[in-house]
Amino acid sequence: MAPLDIVGVWTPERPKTQCEYHRDSLQTTSPEGYPIVGAYVPQCDANGQYIPLQCHGSSGHCWCVDSRGQERAGTRTSPGAPPIDCDKPERPKTHCEHHRDSVQTTSPEGYPLLGAYVPQCDDNGQYVPQQCHSSTGYCWCVDSRGQERRGTRTPPGTPSQSMQGMG
């Protein structure tokens, strides 16, 4: 039955939105109709739209979502980290970030292959001047395009090359 408005006239209920369906499906997941403890439940605003900043109550992680509720890349924060501004336009991924992401999603399950070199990018998405292969222990210097600088590779346990004068 539709709710009465202030004047006493019946008003039709609006249909549920995608966010509300998503939220409601997760809030009634146990046979008794209770949410599963620890499950992420999306947050919707009064109009039923996804709230731009979503947080997982159990883990403390937060992230920004688009209008369809899809996580925006690079917006996830750790528990206790200051919240990010979801109204800030999403910057396009840099070469380093594309390179890193392509290596991190090489298995069918989306995990990096064991032993694969994963480039390290700074907070602005640029290559960190010294790259290290976590599996082999080798380190080397790279230019702004991520290309190895000749003569800078050091074996495991060797003091790393100085980055000064290499910018």
The single residue listed with the structure tokens 């702004």 is: 144
Continuous segment of H or E residues that includes residue 64: strand 62-64
* Higher pLDDT among residues 53 and 34, named by residue: 53
Residues 129-155 pLDDT 10s: 999 998 899 999 999 999 999 999 999
In a domain, 44, yes or no: yes
Contact (CB, 8 A) for 43 and 52:
no
107 and 81 share one domain: no
Are 54 and 81 contained in the same domain? Answer: yes
Q: What mean pLDDT, rounded, does the chain reach? A: 82
Task: Give 26-39 pLDDT, tens digit per residue.
Answer: 776 677 766 677 77
The pLDDT value recorded for residue 45 is: 95
Quote the pLDDT of residue 91.
75
What pLDDT sits at residue 127?
96
86 exposure class (CB count in 10 Å sphere: 0-12, 13-18, 19+): middle
- Which CATH number does the domain housing residue 144 bear? 4.10.800.10
Q: Looking up tokens 């408005």, which residue turns up? A: 5
Give the residue from 30, 57, 90 where a domain finishes.
Answer: 90
Nearest to 69 by CA among 90, 43, 48, 50: 50
Whether the predicted pLDDT of 107 surpasses 80: no
Q: How many other CB atoms are found less than 10 A from the CB of residue 4?
A: 10
| Global confidence as pTM | 0.47
Q: What is the pLDDT of residue 167?
A: 47
Domain end position, chosen among 90, 120, 141: 90
Per-residue pLDDT, 29:
63
Per-residue pLDDT band at 106 (split at 50, 70, 90): low
Q: Can you tell me the distance from the alpha carbon of 160 to that of 92, in angstroms, rounded to the nearest whole number?
A: 32
Backbone angles phi, psi at 120, to 5 degrees: -100, 130
My answer on whether 120 and 85 are in the same domain is no
User: In angstroms, rounded to a whole number, what is the distance separating the alpha carbons of residues 94 and 41?
Assistant: 31
**125 and 96 Cβ atoms separated by less than 8 Å:** yes
Percent over 70 (pLDDT), the chain: 77
Domain shared by 86 and 107, yes or no? no
> What tokens appear for 12 in the block?
């039709």
Tally of domains within the chain: 2
**Predicted local distance difference test score (pLDDT) of residue 26:** 77
Q: Select from 90, 112, 130 the last residue of a domain.
A: 90
Shared domain for 42 and 80, answered yes or no, is yes
Domain limits for position 132:
91-160
Same domain (yes/no): 7, 84: yes
**3 occurs within a structural domain:** yes
